[in-house]
Amino acid sequence: MARGDAPRDSYHLVGISFFILGLGTLLPWNFFITAIPYFQARLAGDSNSTARTLSTNRTGPEDAFNFNNWVTLLSQLPLLLFTLLNSFLYQCIPETVRILGSLLAILLLFALTAALVKVDMSPGPFFSITMASVCFINSFSAVLQGSLFGQLGTMPSTYSTLFLSGQGLAGIFAALAMLLSLASGVDAQTSALGYFITPCVGILMSIVCYLSLPHLKFARYYLAKKQSQAQAQELETKAELLHSDEKNGIPNSPQRVALTLDLDLEKEPEPEPDEPQEPGKPSVFTVFQKIWLTALCLVLVFTVTLSVFPAITAMVTSSTSPGKWTLSLPGQFFNPICCFLLFNIMDCLGRSLTSYFLWPDEDSRLLPLLVCLRFLFVPLFMLCHVPQRSRLPILFPQDAYFITFMLLFAISNGYLVSLTMCLAPRQVLPHEREVAGALMTFFLALGLSCGASLSFLFKALL
């Protein structure tokens, strides 16, 4: 909550700015994976305009470059690396430089991706340039996201909620942008160019929003305060953060957990003269012993998810006759709707369910069982209608199977991720919660990287 002497957020401009900044942090990842068919078509070596289409029902040459696997792996490894380097970077590089520098770098790299739509290039150099862009974009995105979460530490919890709302809508926004590009009726090359220009506009808006914050009285009141001056407000803010999702139905985030629990330390009452002194810095090993099972569950959830999404799921095509899912090309809208849009909507819904109940609780052994059951999705998706296969048969050819699997897959991912992030802080003492949040953030990144690595094996088994 804002303090009584704080200025008002006129026209909610600060809230809107943080919502757009949240959207901008996850746009790069979502726009790259949603456009996997476009990249695969370019890497097939075609030189005509069809090589630049955003979506196609390709059943011809196999993806020799394993693009969907590499884009996933090179998106998640930077997250893991910069999670480990965060404390060093934050001490050495000013906050404004980290945020504006990251936004500008992402904008330039996405502009390069859009420009390549118009450039005829052989598959090898195109793949190398694209992979380098993916790696650098996600490195800057990791720095950007962590820096903005740190800045939100001085803001009322409502603004953390708005930031998280923007992040939650990034995947849905990318899928809708894909559908609008496909339905626009323009040629394939123009459609792809318009699609990649869209995130450039989003990042440019994020830059404008961030530059406008120092000119807004409400933002200056919080962002310019020293930590000692903002202590009372910060205590109130961090006390609310773990409950804000329950009130608003907003997905949880590991960075939010670390951020909210950070002020729980300061919220501890002053020790009485006859009471023991405040405990020292908590041991990472001690905290890990308490939350290791929950952390392992988080790793396994993301390992399963990234091992098949989007590496395997993006290869699934419609088995229905032309006309049911299409306007002109067979299967043109099937994957954008049934894979990406459906996943992001159901994942967001699953995360919001923890606002109403937390089951199973931290003492239950059902959580590891539910997490392990998600491994069933790996063979289920691999046995769906994926034409490019040489080993496994197709046991679930109908579209209804894939849609049902995706519904359960996405909602379980969102719910179990949110649940583990909520349960971990409840398993440790108040002064250990900051360390618990940081550990869960690391294990989240570890799970993403493990899943991306396993996707190569599962694709090879097809």
Which candidate, 357, 359, 358, 355, places its Cα nearest to that of 247? 355
User: What 3-state DSSP class applies to 384?
Assistant: strand
In a 3-state reduction of DSSP, which class is residue 396?
strand
Q: What pLDDT band is residue 229 in, cutting at 50, 70 and 90?
A: very low
CA separation for the pair 165, 159 (Å, rounded): 10
Torsion, CA 375, CA 381, CA 382, CA 387, rounded to 10: -170
Give the phi and the psi of residue 384 in degrees, each rounded to 5: -80, -175
Q: How far is CA 90 from the centre of its chain?
A: 21
pLDDT digits (tens, 9 = 90+) for 248-288: 444 444 444 444 444 444 444 554 444 444 566 778 899 99
- Report how far Cα 258 is from the mean position of its chain's Cα atoms: 17
Distance CA(29)–CA(89), nearest Å, equals: 22
Average pLDDT of 72-97? 81
3-state secondary structure of 69: helix
Residue 171 vs residues 196, 217, 274, 340: alpha-carbon distances, Å: 14, 32, 54, 8
Give the architecture-level CATH label for domain 10-269+280-461. Up-down Bundle (1.20)
Are 437 and 288 contacting, i.e. CB atoms less than 8 angstroms apart? Answer: no
User: Which residue in this structure is represented by tokens 């965060």?
Assistant: 86
Report whether pLDDT(383) > 90.
yes
Q: Give the Å distances, CA to CA, from 56 to 147, 249, 331.
A: 38, 36, 7
**Ordered DSSP codes for 234-249:** HHHHHHHHHHHHHHH-
Angle at 390 between CA 384 and CA 393, to 5 degrees: 40
Distance CA 218, CA 216 (A): 6
State how far the Cα of 28 lies from the Cα of 202, in Å rounded to an integer: 10
Q: Which tens digits make up the pLDDT trace of 180-190?
A: 888 877 777 78
Query: Is 241 a residue whose pLDDT tops 60?
Result: no
| Contact between 318 and 399 (Cβ < 8 Å) | yes
Q: Does pTM top 0.85 for this prediction?
A: no
- Which residues, including other chains, have CB under 8 Å from residue 172's CB and lie 6 or more apart? 341, 344, 345, 348
